[in-house]
Structure 1
Amino acid sequence: MRRTARLLTGTALAVAAAGLTTAPAYGGQNGSLEVFPSNAVPGNKVTVNTHGCGDGGTADGDASAVGGGRFTLAPSSHEDDSIGEFRVPPSAQPGTYEIVAKCAGGKRVTGDLVVTPTSMRAQVQPRGSVKTGVGGALGPDPVQTAAGVAALAVAAAGGTWLLHRRARGDGI
């Protein structure tokens, strides 16, 4: 029992120590760069904002990893927010890219942008008919349709009659 208690206590201490040394997955208020939308297709406009530069803080943004170049983050109407935007170039390849901003005070904040080849929206299926120039069995003119059916019936009857004569040996 004593050995199990030591093992569990040691494990708990190791987990707690690891938790203190790792960065939080989402640092919303303390310096992360929020990217909207986080999934974009080439050609989309992307907005970034951060709380990390402080009240009235400006920042220089860098989206050159994805090919978006440099941009400026300026104070927004929201408290302690700096906001900026850039466009994902049409030549951007699919993948995850780090977007960086450096605050006026020297603080560096980062966020991730995922570029996808196509939009994640449901694809729209085509509707309607295709104009190929070849009419269907029931064309717009019933007289032509009836004439075509009659011609096929005469051809079928004539072919059957000829095959029947040949089978009997009457010759053609």
Structure 2
Amino acid sequence: MRRTARMLTGTALAAVAAGLAAAPASAAGSSLEVYPSAALPGGQVTVNTKECGDRGSAAGDASAVGAGPFTLAPSTHEGDAIGQFRVPPSAQPGTYEIVAKCATGGRQVTGDLVVTLSTAHEQVQPRGSVKTGVGGALGPDPVQTAAGVAALAVAAAGGTWLLHRRARGDGI
């Protein structure tokens, strides 16, 4: 019982410490949400923040990625200020800081945009063969494949016939 209590207490303390360590990072002005967080060159990106107040607006800057300034306008969606920009087709892969400055109060918020050359959902199918040093009976040649299947069928039929004779007591 004591051991379980110590483990639970240690886990709880670790969780509280992690929460306290993360608190200053979010208070440091990194509350600009970027959707999608990873985009292709030429793709449309939406940013939003709640930090400018219910009906607040902001001036956005995506010049780090080469998109330049854009505006965040008040939205009816939970008091967010929302804006959009397009990633330039010439953008290079990497992580870029997007900045917005609230019109009232001058608070600055930031968020990260990752520019990639392929989407995370896109899967690349492997092609070719792997050189393992172990030979294989089946190859891309349909004649060899048919011969292998025929040899397996003959072996299976012969084995079945021999087992059947043995079960009847005829001998081999």
Q: Confirm or deny a common fold (TM above 0.5).
A: yes
The residue number in structure 2 matching 1:122 is: 122
User: Structure 1: which 5+ residue stretches go unaligned?
Assistant: 1-11, 126-172
The residue number in structure 2 matching 1:95 is: 94
C-alpha change, 1:39 and 1:102, in structure 2 (3 Å) is same
- Deviation of 1:22 (Å): 5.5
The residue number in structure 2 matching 1:84 is: 83
C-alpha change, 1:19 and 1:123, in structure 2 (3 Å) is closer
- Deviation of 1:23 (Å): 1.6
The residue number in structure 1 matching 2:39 is: 40
The residue number in structure 2 matching 1:49 is: 48
Deviations 1:101-138 (A, max 9, x none): 0001200000000000122333577xxxxxxxxxxxxx
TM-score normalised to structure 2 length: 0.56
The residue number in structure 1 matching 2:110 is: 110
User: Structure 2: which 5+ residue stretches go unaligned?
Assistant: 1-12, 126-172
Amino acid at match of 1:87: R
The residue number in structure 1 matching 2:170 is: none
The residue number in structure 2 matching 1:62 is: 61
TM-score normalised to structure 1 length: 0.56
| Alpha carbons 2:56, 2:74 under 8 Å: kept | yes
SS in 2 for 1:35: strand
| In 1, Cα distance between equivalents of 2:71 and 2:116 | 24
| Alpha carbons 1:31, 1:53 under 8 Å: kept | no
SS in 2 for 1:23: helix
The residue number in structure 1 matching 2:140 is: none
Corresponding pairs, count: 113
Runs (4+) of structure 1 exceeding 4 A deviation are: none
| Alpha carbons 1:39, 1:113 under 8 Å: kept | yes
Percentage of matched positions with identical amino acids: 67
| Alpha carbons 2:44, 2:84 under 8 Å: kept | yes
- Deviation of 1:20 (Å): 6.3
